[in-house]
Structure 1
């Protein structure tokens, strides 16, 4: 059970339906919500067997991904501070026929709304249903964009986009990331990533070091994405 005064402003900003709940509903939510800490590399959700509820990220960074039959991963989207992880409650969504995994990329603090509480609120409040539908639509838009990239975009462009995105996230041109990790994000083989990165290096766009990549010419990388 949470302190009733703890981060109420956070819930108001993160959950658009908070203002529409009755006081008893708010009390139920606060009483059932649990604060959790996750370390880098930990799993917040491991496939369809794990349906904890909704996670509200107070801090940190996580990624949602799927795994192909051959074992390749591809990142669907990433979540940051004040984002909501809807697929950790996918057992509420009867038409989800594939497993989604959620991995912690940076130490994360999150509030968990248990599935029983969220289901009850969804039945009682239309604003909760609207919140869920809007969040699902937003996430599926991101998923479709990733699928379009994988199917129709050349790999040099995909890799350039990823490096620029990673640079924006880290707020740095020095990226501590392995070729294997990039391959997991982009749904390809490590060898493919290595070959393209070596091409980028030969073109003086990046510098490669063990477990790290330095962006040398961001403008040239951005031109690849056009």
Structure 2
């Protein structure tokens, strides 16, 4: 637990007593691919540190439509799962594991105590919340003001940069979730990209063939 807790970005801001409190109260939990980690209507979970895997935070409409807000990877912190601690967060989100994932959970009561007792932690939490809201606003901008071809091109290029590979190992359904579209629409657009020589389609994979062409679509 010592090594896991030390991966917290604000670990160095804590006193020895506060560090001991976190070590004693934090727990690790594993989630299978597709598992729901947190439902906006459920009890406040606390703060999540991604140890391995990937989590997706999204909004879910009454009609079942999903809007991806952002994705988090190892050593990223999820603050929306602790919305009961930060009063400025006023909307409910869903959080799920995109692949087999392990997280470190700091209970909401501990996060609240740290925020009240440690000014540096309080500033860190507000800065993190601001960063996540910036991610949310970017996602909304993509959906509201960008056509599907531009959103898809932007996503493929960003994913290639993140993974360091020109091969994107994702299904059409997974991509549709990330860019908040329908699987059928994504499949049609990818087919169009393929016909234009921008990508090559394989089972469960998309290979970027013309990066410059995709960049022009952004």
Say whether the fold is shared (TM-score over 0.5): yes
Aligned residue-pair number: 218
Q: Does residue 209 in structure 1 map to residue 202 in structure 2? A: yes
Residue deviations 1:9-36 (CA, integer Å, cap 9, x gap): x6455332x3332222221111111122
| 1:101 matched residue in structure 2 | 94
The CA distance in 1 between the partners of 2:216 and 2:123, in whole Å, is 39
TM-score under structure 2 length normalisation: 0.91
* Cα-Cα RMSD: 1.8
| 1:15 matched residue in structure 2 | 9
The CA distance in 2 between the partners of 1:92 and 1:150, in whole Å, is 29
Q: Does residue 84 in structure 1 map to residue 66 in structure 2? A: no
| 1:157 matched residue in structure 2 | 150
| 1:63 matched residue in structure 2 | 56
Residue deviations 1:118-141 (CA, integer Å, cap 9, x gap): 111111111111111000000000
Q: Does residue 194 in structure 1 map to residue 183 in structure 2? A: no
Unpaired segments ≥5 residues, structure 1 = none
Corresponding residue SS for 1:109: strand
Unpaired segments ≥5 residues, structure 2 = none
TM-score under structure 1 length normalisation: 0.88
The CA distance in 2 between the partners of 1:95 and 1:39, in whole Å, is 31
Q: Summarize the Cα distance change of 1:112–1:13 in structure 2 as closer, same or farther, 3 Å threshold.
A: closer
Give matches, 1:106-121, under 5 Å.
106-121=99-114
Q: Summarize the Cα distance change of 1:28–1:14 in structure 2 as closer, same or farther, 3 Å threshold.
A: closer
Q: Summarize the Cα distance change of 1:198–1:94 in structure 2 as closer, same or farther, 3 Å threshold.
A: same
Q: Does residue 222 in structure 1 map to residue 215 in structure 2? A: yes
Q: Does residue 138 in structure 1 map to residue 131 in structure 2? A: yes
Moved more, 117-126 or 216-225: 216-225
Deviation for aligned residue 1:58: 2.1
1:122/1:129 contact within 8 Å kept = yes
